[in-house]
Amino acid sequence: MSIKAGTYSFDENTGKIQVYTFKEGMLSAVAHDLLLDVTRFKVNLNIPSDDLSSATINAAIPANALKVVCAMKDGQQQNDTLKEKDKSEIDEATNNDVLHSKKYPTISFQSTGVGKNNAGYHITGKLTLHGVTNTIEFDCELTGENTPKGSVDLMQKEYGIKPYKALLGALKVKNNITVAFSFPLK
């Protein structure tokens, strides 16, 4: 299965981007892994011909568009664990203390290479986050529903981000986060 030539545009109404954070520290037993939704974004995919080497992917995400959905435990959503006040406080800390969204308002991705592999597609590109640009690579599969989906692991410190911590470091978010995406083609 492959993606047909064409131009595709996705946003929060036609696709999904989610961020997973993980806890650590002495008090991690009372903390939560988190699932966050990216509530606003634009992704453009341009495949000019059947030759994927000329395909391009561009994405723009407002840094303040991450919102807590729920706590996670053993990979399962815990929808009743966090109160709305808790979610709001985490959102505020994420925007102000972690991503510094007023200073770095946009997260962007620009592909530099797209190719086929055994899983589907291998994508290389430049991710700009928190004012730092790094090259990233990740795989994407095309599901039976004609939906490209995949994930990429990022290390916050590689982007100058200090992972959130509280209670003198007894509770903190791990350096690595996972960003997952799904974009149904219509």
pLDDT in tens, 63-98: 999 999 999 988 899 999 999 999 999 999 999 999
Inform me whether the pLDDT recorded for 168 exceeds 60. no
What pLDDT, on a 0 to 100 scale, did the predictor assign at position 17? 98
Q: Write down the pTM of the prediction.
A: 0.92
Parallel/antiparallel/unpaired status of strands 56-62 and 16-21: unpaired
**Residues facing 9 on adjacent strands:** 44
CATH 3.90.1260.10 fits 6-182, yes or no: no
Q: What angle do CA 83, 85, 87 make, to 5 degrees?
A: 75
Where helices occur in the chain by DSSP H, the ranges are 84-93
Question: Which DSSP symbol is given to 4?
Answer: P
Token digits for 52?
């994927």
Q: Which sign does the torsion angle of CA 46, 50, 54, 59 carry? A: positive
Inform me whether the pLDDT recorded for 159 exceeds 70. yes
Q: How confident is the model at residue 27 (pLDDT cuts 50, 70, 90)?
A: low
Would you kindly state where each structural domain of the chain is located, as residue ranges? Answer: 6-182
Tell me which residue of 19, 159, 180 sits closest to 99, measured CA to CA: 159
Token digits for 70?
């729920």
**pLDDT by residue (tens digit) across 117-145?**
887 899 999 999 999 999 999 999 988 77
